[in-house]
Amino acid sequence: MSALLTIEDLRRRARRRVPKMFFDYADSGSWTESTYRANEEDFHKVKLRQRVLVDMTDRSLESTMIGETVSMPVALAPTGLTGMQHADGEILAAQAAEAFGVPFALSTMSICSIEDVAEATTKPFWFQLYVMRDRGFINDLIDRAKAAGCSALVLTADLQILGQRHKDLRNGLSAPPKFTPKHIWQMATRPQWCLGMLGTKRRTFRNIAGHVKGVTDLSSLSTWTAEQFDPRLSWADVEWIKERWGGKLIIKGILDVEDAKMAAATGADAIIVSNHGGRQLDGAPSSVSVLPEIVEAVGERIEVHLDGGIRSGQDVLKALCLGAKGVHIGRPFLYGLGAGGREGVRLALEIIRRELDVTLALCGKRDIAQAGPELLYAPNDPFGTGRR
CA distance 219 to 215: 8
Q: List the catalytic residue out of 183, 276, 305, 328.
A: 276
Count of the separate structural domains present in the chain: 1
Annotation says 276 is catalytic: yes
Q: Write the pLDDT tens digit of every residue in 295-310.
A: 999 999 999 999 999 9
Mean pLDDT, rounded, for 159-178: 84
- 386 within a domain of the structure (yes/no): no
Give pLDDT, residue 197: 94
Give pLDDT, residue 164: 86
Mean pLDDT, rounded, for 278-298: 97
CA angle 8, 10, 14 (to 5 degrees): 115
CA distance 287 to 281: 12
Give pLDDT, residue 129: 97
Domain assignment of residue 17, given as a range: 7-375
Q: What is the CATH number of the domain that holds 79?
A: 3.20.20.70
Give pLDDT, residue 91: 98
- 69 within a domain of the structure (yes/no): yes
- 385 within a domain of the structure (yes/no): no
For residue 370, the one-letter residue type is Q
The answer to whether 225 touches 205, Cβ cutoff 8 Å, is yes
3-state secondary structure of 367: strand
State yes or no: pLDDT of 71 exceeds 90.
Answer: yes
State yes or no: pLDDT of 68 exceeds 80.
Answer: yes
Q: Write the pLDDT tens digit of every residue in 88-108.
A: 999 999 999 999 999 999 999
Residue 217 confidence class, pLDDT cut points 50, 70, 90: low
CA angle 362, 368, 369 (to 5 degrees): 130
Least confident of 169-178, 203-212, 267-276: 169-178
- 174 within a domain of the structure (yes/no): yes
Q: Write the pLDDT tens digit of every residue in 41-63.
A: 999 999 999 999 999 999 999 99
- 387 within a domain of the structure (yes/no): no
- 204 within a domain of the structure (yes/no): yes
| DSSP secondary structure letter of residue 60 | B
- 382 within a domain of the structure (yes/no): no
Give pLDDT, residue 172: 85
Give pLDDT, residue 388: 42
- 381 within a domain of the structure (yes/no): no
